[in-house]
Each structure stands twice: as C-alpha cells, then as structure tokens.
A and B are shown apart, each in its own frame.
Chain A
Amino acid sequence: MSTPAVAADRLRARSRSRWRRRRTIAVLLAPWAIGFGVFFAYPLIASAYYSFTHYDLLSSPHWIGLRNYEYLFNSDPQVWSAVRNTLWLIAFMVPAQVLFALGLALLLSRARHGVGALRTIFYLPALAPIVAATLGFVYLFNPANGPVNTILGALGIEGPLWLNGASTAKPTLVLLALWSVGTTLIIFLAAVLDVPTHLLESAELDGAGPWRRFIHVTLPTISPVLLFAIVIGVIDALQYFTQAYVAAGVAQGGQAGESAKQLGYPEGATLFYPIYLYEQAFSRFNMGYASAMSILMLIVALALTMLILRNARRWVHYQGETR
C-alpha cells in the first residue's frame, strides 16, 4: 500500500516522461511543421483572406466581402472560357496520356530484344525541359514551313494550322503531352511487369485469351497505379500552364517567355485556368481576384480528387486486400 507522497512522485515521473516523449515528437515533427506552415498553410490562409479583398500588390488590401466571387461567377465570361478549356484537358488529355502510356508499357513489357534501349528512347523526352520541348513543337508544327506540314504537303495533304488554329491548338498540345509521357510510362511498365505470372498462366490454362487476361488479371493488378496516374493527370491538367503559355506566345510571333498578345491565342483556345489566374495576378495586378480564382481551383481540385477516389473503390484492387 503506497503513501500519498509516493503516489504523487510516480505521477510526476510519469508526467515528466510523457512531456519528454511529446517534446521529442515535436522536435522530430518540427521540420515538416515549419515547411507545412510556411509553404502550405500560410499561403492557403493568406489566399483565402485576400480572396475577400481588393488587393493590387501595392496598396493595402481593402475588405470587399464577396465581390470578387460575385465578379467571378456573374461578370467575367473569360473565366468560364478558361474553365471550359481546362475541363477539355481533363476530358481528353488525361485519358489520352493514360491510355498511351499504358499501351506503350504493355508493348514494352512484351519486347524481347533491345528492351533497355527502347525504354530509354521512350523515357528520354520526359527529361527535356518543358520550354525547350514546347519551342521544338512550335517549330515542328509551324503551319507555313514546319517539317510536319512540309512532309504532309509532299504527300499532297494540306496540313492543319496546328497551334495557330482554334480547333487544332489543344489537340496539338495533347500531342506534346503524349510525346513526354515517359514518367507515367515507366510507372506503368513497372506495374505491368509486377503482375504475378502464375495468375496469367492460370488464366491461360482456363482458356482466357490475351484480351480477357488483360481485363481480368492485368488491369485489376495494376489498378492502384492506374488510379495514381489518373489523379496525378487530373491535378496536372488543372495546373497546366507552361506549355500553353509558351506555345501561344511563340506561335503568335512572340518570343519564349513573352505572353501572347491575345490571351489564349488562338481565339482563346489555349486560355487555361492557371494562365488566366496568372494574368489576373501578375499582369493586371488583381491579386484579390486571383486569390478568389485560386480558392475556386482548390475546391474543384479537391472535389474531383474525392470523386475519383470514391469511384475508385469500385475498380481498384490492392494485392493482399481482403473483402
């Protein structure tokens, strides 16, 4: 039977030990917490605050309530044009990238000779700096004297206007995205090579052809990687900036790094949401409005990610998962 003094000592010792443990955890977490606070939480809080202000970067922000959001939803037609273009990317560029990378990965997984060289060749474009690659594409697809239209011309075909045409500018950017799909390709290739051989052999013994083996064995096995590629692709599409900014400026006759004289040249076809956001923040100095746009983008990104993840429960299978 312990006296009250001993009990108090034990309590103090336990409390000290608990405090030491918490301090250690706090110290270990500090680098992450500082990074999170400075580079994520603070910008997020500041953006949310600025979205309710008129702020031109030079004078103090003035609180204007919901006027930025009212302008965004009711008075700014360009923002909706930018939203439509960005949704187009999500609807067409993301599936195209995923399918192209997956297709290439399946082909590469079957290659018997020169596998290393082929992998390197297909991955190499992903290492090219974005601006340089985009400039290269503008040159290749110049409708007047670019090599692509010159070859088409030699075959008796009048090539399209590519980046200079309102209906062809976005598809041309998709071609650029497909060319630099190397990183996704490597991830898919690793996943495809990781599909258990015994499952494929069992399916084959059961009479399943290549297509059924792909649908019922390969696809479920690589589904987590597929989900990863889709989520990352959607987030990339929401942030799509450099290629369109450079391509529009140069295709219109400017220099790299110069914005196009017309926003989203040609005819607004390449005016994507981040480009318009940048224009508002750093060209028109409407930081308050740009902040409201960024908050909307955050909400949309979160909603889309949640939607994909919720849907994913139906088709993504994790190895070792019990149901």
Chain B
Amino acid sequence: MHVRVLAATVLAAGAILVAGCGGSSSSSGSSGGDIPTFNPSEKVSITYWVPFTGGELGFVKKVVRGFEMAHPNVRVNVVGNINDEKIIAASRSGNVPDAALSFTTDNTGVFCKDGTFLNLGPAIKRDGIDLGNFPPAQQHYTEFNGVRCVLPAMADVYGLYYNKQMLAQAGIAAPPKTISELTEDAKKLTVRSGSSITRAGFTPYIGFYENSGAHFGPLWGAQWQQPNGKSAIASDPGWAQMAEWVKELVDYYGHSSLVRFQAGAGEEFSSSNAFQNEKLAMQIDGEWRTALIKDEAPKLQYGTAPMPVADGKSELYGGGYTTGNITGIPKGAAHPAAAWELIKYLATEVKPQVELMEDLGNVPTWIPALDQAKKVASPQFQTFLAIFANPHTTTTPITASGEASQKTLENYLEKYQSGNGGNLQQGLAQVASQIDAQEAQATAGNVP
C-alpha cells in the first residue's frame, strides 16, 4: 500500500511539474490585446532591452534621452547585449522588459505567432499611424499571419562596395552592373602569388562575410515561395543560376586557395576587414560599413553602387536586399502604454531616425525621415537610401520556421560551391522539400 501511495504521489508531482512547465500562454497580464492610452502625467520607469553593445549602445541611449525629454515623466533604463534567446527566455518566465529590440527579422513569426509580443494593430489604428510611411519590405517583415507585433526601427540595406583606386588601375571605368561584368572585373582585379591569392577581386563564397543566398537571390529575382506557399528554391531558375555562378567563380580561384585566402582575410567586424585593408577590391556589404570605414579606414578611396544583377534582368538593377531591426512590447510588460510611446517615438519620428542614421549608419525606416536623411547623408550612403527606396528591393519571407529555410539553403550552397553538392537540381529539390518539411513541423502545433 505504501508503494502505491508513493507511486501515486510521484506521478501526481510529476504531472504538476510537467504541467507547470508547459509555458505561460494562458496567462493574461497586460495582454488584453489593446495597449492602454498613455497618461503623460503618470510617472513611470520602463526597461528597454536592445542587442547593441559598446559605442552603439551609447548612441541608442543618447536617442532615448531625447524621448525622455519629450516625455518628462517616463524614465527609460536601456539594457544592452540582449539577443533573441534572452528575450524568448524572459517571455517564457514572465519576467519581461517593457519593450525590446531585435537585430533580426527572422523571428517576427516566432514573436507574433502566439502573442509573445503584443498585437500593435489596435494601437496603430487608435493613434492614426499611417503604415504607408513604412516601405513595403518593412511592412512585410513586421507582420505575421495578419498580426503586426513589431515596428521597424532602422533598416539594413545591401549594396556593392568597390575600391576606386584598384578599379582605376585595372582600367575599369565604372562599377559592374551585371553579373557578367562583376565576374570579368573580379578576375581583372585578382592578384596571385603562385597558387595563393594576395588580393581577390570579389569573392562569391557563400558564408564569407555577408555572402549568402538570401543576399544574392534578389540579383536573379529569385523567389523563396511559390504562390501556394511551398518553397520555390527548386522551381525558380534564379536559385540554380545563382549557385552555378558562385561555383564557377569559386572554381576560377580554386576552392582551396579561396578558403585559405579568406581564412587570413581578417575578421569581418574588425579593423582587419579585408575590404578596409585593400585585400579585397569589391564586396557585397551592408550600409553600416560606411560608418565602420569612416571610423577605422578613413583614407580608403571607395565607392558604393547597387549590387550587379543577372544578365537579362537589367530591370532589377538599383534594387537589392533589405532587412532590419524590429521593436515591440513583450506580453506581460508592466507599462505597455509608456513602452508603446517609446517604440512609436523610435519608429515614427524623424529626429531619432535621422540621429540613429548618423550615429549607427543604418537606414531610416520611416519615409519622412528618409527624405530628411537624403539631405545629410554622405555620397556613399546615398546609394543605400536609393536602393532602399527601389521597388525591386526585397526581403526574406516571414515564416513560422524563422531562419531555418535560409540556413538549409546556405548549408547546401556551401557544399555545392566546394564541388560536394552533387546534381544541382536534385540538391535544390531536396532543399525545397526540407524547407517545406521544416515549415510543416514549425506549424504543427497551430491546431485548435
């Protein structure tokens, strides 16, 4: 009998523990759906989690001080070095900040899917925010399944950086506009010493610096999804053409020589960066590099241009790839009204957006701020403002499986470029089928 009582107790305790650990989705907190109207006379202190560190964190704090001056009763404690994993862990425990900012749009689906972040839709409507003042890509990556749970707060835009002196010395009058021109120029600009590369014209190697399928795909107009929502990696010929070009150029360098060159090229986010140190004549990079060059290699003679596009796709020239920071209010936030005022200030006011552009070197996401930014931006940065405004500029689709689709494609492309990817079409078909399976797996719980 004792044994039976003990067993029952253990089972009951186990059941309670398992049930207790089953997440907190049913808790209510301040997640009534709508965000209360802000009371300017109420003194509140809120916490804002951001992933920035070092000097960048200082810039964000400076901009937030502007918010505090405009809202004298609100004090904001900006906490840096917070990644998405910490936000998720906090949301799970219920010990959340009042607002949070993420560097990646890949987790919009995760944040919006189950109400982890508050639905901002009602507050946007109540406060009369015109979503048309956000570019289409930014509208896209802040919403999932009809729920807008985050606002865009500065964007990243990708373009071509080129070393003016090197191009001039090689007799290249203008930066390449097509992939053929890019390939030809890359070969002209490459310098070898025996079998080793001392300077690369352009390295297409997937995984090196900012090279990725997501960033290259728009140059071929390649789509991620078919109209039915299934992966288009195998059906859209752009992906195969992109992979073939990558492999062809990697083969030109020699896979082993290129890997060796890249291993000694210097860290991407350090003053030893290969482009900044003139080991690389051209590279695809984000707009933030202009700020880094200004700080770390001010004497570098460089120019920026839209990324070259596939031959026969000249209409795409001028566009590119964009992504950016997103900011929202986690469910359970103690002061959602004040938090809403803060993220609204950062996302829909001209002054903080222009300040962040000047300090962080990111592109404003609020179109009125974009107009203001054009007046003060450097010639190199103007390129990114133009790419950002181009209708052919795209972003990656927001899905429940987050960045899984991008990682799956990257993994295959990495094998293919080294010659270990087998038949390209079969490989891409496997990637597509794996992405579909991941998406099905990620949405398996969305049942009534």
Interface residues of A (CB under 8 A from B): 37, 41-42, 45-46, 49, 53-62, 64, 67-68, 71, 75-78, 142-145, 158, 161, 164-166, 251-253, 255, 261-268, 282-286, 288-289
Contact = CB atoms under 8 A, between A and B. Distances in A.
Contacts of B403: 283-284
A165 B21 CA distance: 42
Contacts of B447: 62
23 contacts: A46-B18, A55-B23, A57-B23, A58-B25, A58-B110, A59-B445, A60-B25, A62-B445, A67-B444, A77-B434, A143-B264, A144-B260, A145-B264, A252-B207, A253-B267, A253-B268, A255-B267, A261-B212, A262-B407, A267-B418, A284-B442, A285-B110, A288-B445
Nearest to A41: B14
A282 B88 CA distance: 9
A278 B399 CA distance: 20
B14 to A, nearest CB: 5
A262 B207 contact: yes
B113 A64 contact: no
A37 B17 CA distance: 11
Contacts of A285: 88, 110, 402
Nearest to B443: A54
Contact of A54 (B115, B265, B444): B444
B194 to A, nearest CB: 10
A251 B195 CA distance: 21
B445 A61 contact: yes
A166 B420 contact: yes
Contact of A53 (B110, B256, B445): B445
B261 interface: yes
Contacts of B444: 54, 62, 64, 67
Given A267-B415, A268-B415, A289-B441, A58 B261 contact: no
Contacts of B430: 77
Contacts of B82: none
B227 interface: no
B20 to A, nearest CB: 10
B414 A142 contact: no
B262 interface: yes
A166 B407 contact: no
A9 to B, nearest CB: 23
B263 A142 contact: yes
Given A263-B407, A267-B414, A286 B442 contact: yes
A284 B418 contact: no
A295 to B, nearest CB: 15
Contacts of B262: 144, 253
A161 B442 contact: no
B445 A55 contact: yes
Contact of B441 (A41, A145, A286): A286
Nearest to A161: B259
B410 interface: yes
B116 interface: yes
Interface in B242-275: 256, 259-265, 267-269
A279 B53 CA distance: 24
A273 B114 CA distance: 29
A-side binding surface: helix, strand, loop or mixed?
loop
A269 to B, nearest CB: 10
B17 A46 contact: yes
A61 B256 CA distance: 46
A42 B14 contact: yes
A46 B21 CA distance: 8
- Among A53, A60, A64, max chain B CB count under 10 A is at A60
Given A267-B415, A289-B441, A253 B208 contact: yes
B195 to A, nearest CB: 8
Nearest to B408: A78
Interface string B188-199: 000000010000
Contact of A164 (B14, B259, B407, B437): B259
Interface string B395-423: 00000011110011011001100101000
Contacts of B411: 78, 262-264, 268
Given A59-B23, A145-B264, A164-B259, 11 more contacts: A45-B18, A53-B445, A55-B445, A56-B113, A59-B114, A59-B115, A67-B441, A161-B259, A253-B208, A262-B407, A262-B410
A61 B23 contact: yes
Nearest to B196: A144
B169 to A, nearest CB: 25
B127 interface: no
Contact of B264 (A41, A75, A76, A142): A142
B441 A144 contact: no
Contacts of A75: 434, 437, 441
Nearest to B89: A57
B209 interface: yes
A46 B23 CA distance: 12
A261 B206 CA distance: 10
Given A46-B17, A46-B21, A262-B207, A64 B264 contact: no
A284 B445 contact: no
B26 interface: yes
A267 B420 contact: yes
B130 interface: no
A42 B20 CA distance: 12
A131 to B, nearest CB: 17
A57 B88 contact: yes
A76 B407 CA distance: 14
A262 B414 contact: yes
B295 interface: no
B53 to A, nearest CB: 12
B267 A58 contact: no
The 7 nearest A-B residue pairs measured at CB: A144-B264, A54-B445, A59-B114, A62-B445, A59-B25, A75-B437, A144-B263
B22 interface: yes
Nearest to B402: A284
